[in-house]
Amino acid sequence: MAAMDAIPDDIAALRTALAAAEARACVAEAEAAWAVAKASGADALIAHLKLEIEKLRRDLYGQRSERKTRLLDQLELQLEELEATASEDEAAAERAAAKARTLAALPRKKPARQPFSAHLPRERVVVPAPATCPCCGSDKLCKLGETVTETLESIPRQWKVIQTVREEFSCRSCATISQPPAPFHVTPRGWIGPSLLAMILFEKFGQHQPLNRQAERFAREGVPLSLSTLADQVGTGCAALKPLHDLMEAHVLAAERLHGDDTTVPVLAKGKADTARAWVYVRDDRPFGGPAPPAAVFYYSRDRRGEHPERHLEGFTGLLQADAYAGYNRLYDPGRTPSPVRDVLCWAHARRKFFVLADIAATARRGKDAPPISPMALEAVTRIDRLFDIERAINGLPADRRLAVRTELSAPLVAELEAWMRAERTRLSRHAPVAKAMDYMLKRWDGFTRFLHDGRLCLTNNAAERALRGIALGRKAWLFCGSDHGGQRAAILYGLIATAKMNDVDPQAWLADVLARIADIPQTRLHDLLPWNWRPAAGLKEAVA
């Protein structure tokens, strides 16, 4: 009762109390963000010192074993991830502090950055000076000096340093000194240009080139950049692009039909590499001529428990085209709230199980010791391929026309395939490989035949598999993620790059333009930067060509 009595009755007092409570909440949020940023910075500094100690030991005592070389590689990757995480946390803390308007900037200790090489050409970009004094309006201005900010930028086959000059003027009437405001920069302190940052991000997440290899290549080109410096920019760049990822995520999960799949991602652990997972959900309506632009969103998890797709698709109630992974089962539960997801299974997965048993070329390569080809598996592949032939002919047609063709041509073939498999299955042992391939389909026949009743559905889940192909190829290059935070950061960039490719947009050119404009563009127009809405700024095509 005492607490209730303390609440004021008038509206003005309530508004004042609410504003004070919101201010206290902002301050608490900012302090928590700074605490996280300080912890990340400390971890990055510790990793940096460990790496320097190991390098000094190697230089002092010589290279002692191959294991030491692998240890240095692991320490470099760990430092890369920690530096990127620290920069990302610092950017979040700065945003929280700006909202609270009460906390000072976080003094983070970083390795000193070397000045840009003198041999690099300089391009002066002079910010127009005011014609009149902003204080008194007088036009009697005299130049006192200038402030030069150097930003490293990359042009294909050429490096240059852009000097942004802001001239200072003094008013002869009132002696007021004025200077144009500093322009927005992609990252804090603005030492790296958007085109160079886009190239680093695309090389790391699109071309799967780790930062240590990029640093070596830059050094050979006469521009030495440390691994810590590059990792710092990756973390800040990911933080800047996060709002676009959120828009793409909302677009993908608003679909009525999704493709879903996952793949393994090794992640660094103590003395070993654990097997984490990268999940992808793809919205692609092009097979039935849908108007919605295609997009993909990636997620990272430490394991493959079913709770992860359940959390990813918490509000989704449409059709999910995926494999028969048991982790999706809770999504298909009839009692699920708000409503169950309907499963649509992949015929390419089913065909693959038969094809392994009927692969004539692989059998020939194995020689005389290879197991014999299964005639039943070969027959199943032949029957399934007839369905694929029909699908290729109707790809891109409207949903109603696709459904009409399937009803006329595909449905009889599917009925014949089911009757044939059920008849042959009764004569097989349950341990026979071809029987296992048949059971995979027959036990889930409703999911495999759902495409016959909806023209929007695809016969396969290849859209999701294509989106994951880059990760499968890149694993041989980067070997493992350095941390869980690094895996989550990679998931954001994988989604951005994959979506750009799906919309026939050059990912690197798009990232360069987005990074140059995202700090200036209003939040209400952020959707203009999405790949399917994107129009490059004037002169970008010539700069990237």
> In a structure prediction context, what are the per-residue pLDDT tens digits for the chain, which is 545 residues long?
455 555 556 777 767 767 777 767 776 777 677 666 666 666 666 666 666 656 655 554 444 444 445 555 565 666 667 667 767 777 777 777 766 655 455 455 555 567 888 888 899 999 888 889 988 889 888 988 898 888 888 876 788 888 889 999 999 999 899 999 887 777 766 688 899 999 999 999 998 888 888 999 999 988 998 888 888 888 889 989 999 999 999 999 999 999 999 998 888 766 667 788 999 999 999 999 999 999 999 999 999 999 999 999 999 999 999 999 999 999 999 999 889 999 999 999 999 999 888 875 555 455 555 566 788 998 999 999 999 999 999 999 999 999 999 999 999 999 999 999 999 999 988 888 899 999 999 999 999 999 999 999 999 999 999 999 888 777 766 656 667 888 888 899 999 999 999 999 999 999 999 999 998 888 899 999 999 999 887 655 444 44
Give me the residues paired with residue 481 across strands: 267
Domain boundary among 100, 122, 145: 100
Note whether residue 106 is domain-resident.
Answer: no
The confidence score (pLDDT) of residue 279 equals 95
Note whether residue 259 is domain-resident.
Answer: yes
Q: Residues 200, 321: one domain?
A: yes
Tokens of 528: 């203009």
The confidence score (pLDDT) of residue 473 equals 77
Name the nearest CA neighbour of 277 among 298, 296, 297, 253. 298
Give me the residues paired with residue 165 across strands: 126, 148
The confidence score (pLDDT) of residue 167 equals 92
Q: Residues 218, 315: one domain?
A: yes
Tokens of 359: 């692969």
Name the nearest CA neighbour of 147 among 168, 116, 130, 118. 168
C-alpha 458/C-alpha 403 separation (Å) is 11
62: left (phi over 0), alpha (psi -120 to 50) or beta: left
Q: Residues 309, 199: one domain?
A: yes
Q: Residues 72, 59: one domain?
A: yes
List the domain range (segments joined by +) for residue 522. 192-345+461-545
Contacts of residue 84, defined as CB under 8 A and 6 or more positions apart, other chains included, come to 231, 232, 234, 235, 238, 485, 486, 489
Domain boundary among 69, 100, 131: 100
Note whether residue 390 is domain-resident.
Answer: yes
Q: Assess contact for 397 and 289: CB atoms under 8 A.
A: yes
Note whether residue 453 is domain-resident.
Answer: no
Computed from CA positions of residues 497, 327, 352, 418, in that sequence, does the dihedral angle turn out positive or negative? negative
Q: Residues 382, 409: one domain?
A: yes
Contacts of residue 94, defined as CB under 8 A and 6 or more positions apart, other chains included, come to 105, 106, 188
Strand pairing report for 319-322 and 342-345: parallel
Q: To which residue do tokens 């059971």 refer? A: 439
Percentage of the chain modeled with pLDDT above 90:
45
Q: Residues 522, 470: one domain?
A: yes
Strand pairing report for 272-283 and 141-155: unpaired
Name the nearest CA neighbour of 80 among 91, 92, 88, 90. 88
Q: Assess contact for 93 and 68: CB atoms under 8 A.
A: no
Note whether residue 365 is domain-resident.
Answer: yes
Q: Residues 236, 335: one domain?
A: yes
Q: Assess contact for 265 and 300: CB atoms under 8 A.
A: yes
C-alpha 261/C-alpha 520 separation (Å) is 36
Q: To which residue do tokens 């949020």 refer? A: 29
The confidence score (pLDDT) of residue 169 equals 92
Note whether residue 25 is domain-resident.
Answer: yes
Q: How far is CA 417 from CA 317, 353, 358, in A?
A: 31, 15, 17
The confidence score (pLDDT) of residue 311 equals 94
Q: To which residue do tokens 């963000």 refer? A: 33
The confidence score (pLDDT) of residue 545 equals 41
Contacts of residue 427, defined as CB under 8 A and 6 or more positions apart, other chains included, come to none
Note whether residue 2 is domain-resident.
Answer: no
Encode 46-67 in three state secondary structure.
Answer: HHHHHHHHHHHHHHHHCCCCHH
Q: Residues 358, 420: one domain?
A: yes
Tokens of 73: 């590689």
**Which spans in 395-483 are helix H?**
399-405, 411-425, 433-442, 445-449, 462-478
> What does the DSSP 8-state code read for residue 384?
H
Q: Residues 337, 360: one domain?
A: no
C-alpha 353/C-alpha 448 separation (Å) is 15
Note whether residue 206 is domain-resident.
Answer: yes
- Number of domain units in the chain: 4
Q: Residues 485, 519: one domain?
A: yes
Q: Residues 365, 427: one domain?
A: yes
Strand pairing report for 177-178 and 272-283: unpaired
Indicate the angle between helix axes 375-394 and 433-442, nearest 10 degrees.
Answer: 40
C-alpha 86/C-alpha 39 separation (Å) is 8
Name the nearest CA neighbour of 376 among 303, 312, 448, 427. 427
Q: Residues 250, 208: one domain?
A: yes
Give me the residues paired with residue 423 across strands: none
C-alpha 163/C-alpha 146 separation (Å) is 11
